[in-house]
Amino acid sequence: MATLSILWVIGAYVLTFSKLADCATWAEWWTYDRTSLSGPENWGKVNAEWSICLKGNKQSPINIRTKDLLYDPNLRRFHVSRHRVNASMQNNGHFVHITIDSSSKHLVNISGGPLQYHYHVSDIVIHFGETNSEGSEHSIDGRFHSGEIQIIGWNSDIYSNATEALGSSNGLAVIALLMKVAEPINIEFDVISNFFSRVKYKGQKEHIRGLSIAELLPASSEFMTYEGSLTYPGCQETVTWIIPNQPFHVSQKDLDFLRELKIGTSDKVIQPMVNNIRPVNPLNHRTVRTNINFRNVSSGCTMEATTFYEVNF
């Protein structure tokens, strides 16, 4: 009997340890594989800290129906400061993750538009598809672009660091740039794309000097905005999304470089990173606002006639 209870105690310890080990790897564990237990449908089921991925009613990405856009005359232009920053690019096994050096001389702010505060840009995330007709997380009238770059800033007026902002109201602002193969290409992205081959495998990291985030933005000052969440775990519903009303142009070569990336380390048999996209979530009565004043268009009153989007098929 005594032996049995000692064994039982040892068993309990082993269990505790393996649970701890699991916790340590949570950040690694999830995938974009829709057929897998680790896929988007299950992010909120397996880890209690991510339950909002499943239960949340303000989740992202969404499909934007252009006929439901609401013109808001109070929306101003949004601004991204033009300073160049140093950064590092990493393959984290999920997406291309660019982290802005917090020691850079000048930090880049996002402000204006729908935002009441200044947001320090801290991270850039790149999603992309296997073919040119998939790869963006947000869709427009049910159609997808070839990729999506998300420029993430945290509210530095109210909060003291990104971690605190992430879980707090009005914590984050994310600019989503939808990618399209077209001329003229975005030069800044073309420069960044030279680094993709150096982060082909998970864990690889490369420094980027003198990155201009403002140069990534399309020339148009028109945008759409809504309240949502991060599109990866923990799916915190603290994000004001800003989606410029013009895709950003890349070359086929830039996209092909991205498609070489793998989700594993170099010593394993590994899958490509392509289609690292969370499926769209229901809008749930949220409003998507825009500063595009459709009433000014002389050609008629339909919104379709005025949108700049040409989505890949």
Residue 22-61 contact track with ligand NAG, rule CB under 6 A, x = bound: ----------------------------------------
Among 18, 116, 161, 287, binds ligand NAG (CB under 6 A): 161
In the complex, least distance from residue 27 CB atom to ligand NAG, rounded to whole angstroms? 15
In the complex, least distance from residue 101 CB atom to ligand NAG, rounded to whole angstroms? 7
DSSP β-bridge partners for residue 124: 98, 151
Say how far apart CA 90 and CA 200 lie, in whole Å: 9
Residues 6 or more apart whose CB falls under 8 angstroms from that of 236 comprise 52, 166, 167, 171, 172, 229, 230
Looking at beta carbons only, is 16 or 302 nearer to ligand NAG? 302
CA-based nearest residue to 247, from 226, 222, 213, 228: 222
Residue 296 contacts ligand NAG per CB under 6 A: yes
Residues 6 or more apart whose CB falls under 8 angstroms from that of 113 comprise 75, 76, 77, 78, 79, 223, 225, 242, 291
Among 42, 51, 63, 81, binds ligand NAG (CB under 6 A): 81
Q: Segment 139-158, which members bind ligand NAG (CB under 6 A)?
A: 156-157
In the complex, least distance from residue 238 CB atom to ligand NAG, rounded to whole angstroms? 15
Residue 236-255 contact track with ligand NAG, rule CB under 6 A, x = bound: --------------------
* HEC profile of 40-52: HHHHHHHCHHHCH
Say how far apart CA 263 and CA 270 lie, in whole Å: 7
Total of chain residues touching ligand NAG, rule CB under 6 A:
18
Retrieve residue 54's tokens.
């499943």
- The DSSP code sequence of 48-92 is GGGTHHHH-SS-S-BEE-GGG-EE-TT---EEE---EEEEEEEE-
Among 22, 28, 164, 256, binds ligand NAG (CB under 6 A): 164
Q: Choose, from 32, 117, 159, 232, the residue flagged as catalytic.
A: 159
Residue 163 contacts ligand NAG per CB under 6 A: yes
DSSP β-bridge partners for residue 176: 150
Active site residue 159: yes
Pairing relationship of beta strands 96-100 and 109-112 according to DSSP bridges: unpaired
Residue 86 contacts ligand NAG per CB under 6 A: yes
The amino acid that residue 134 corresponds to is E
In the complex, least distance from residue 164 CB atom to ligand NAG, rounded to whole angstroms? 4
Residue 287 contacts ligand NAG per CB under 6 A: no
Q: Which stretch binds ligand NAG (CB under 6 A): 53-61, 102-110, 220-228, 278-286?
A: 102-110
Looking at beta carbons only, is 57 or 163 nearer to ligand NAG? 163
Say how far apart CA 199 and CA 92 lie, in whole Å: 9
Residue 67 contacts ligand NAG per CB under 6 A: no
Catalytic residues: 159
Interface residues with ligand NAG (CB under 6 A) are 81, 84-86, 104-105, 109, 118, 156-157, 160-161, 163-164, 209, 293, 295-296
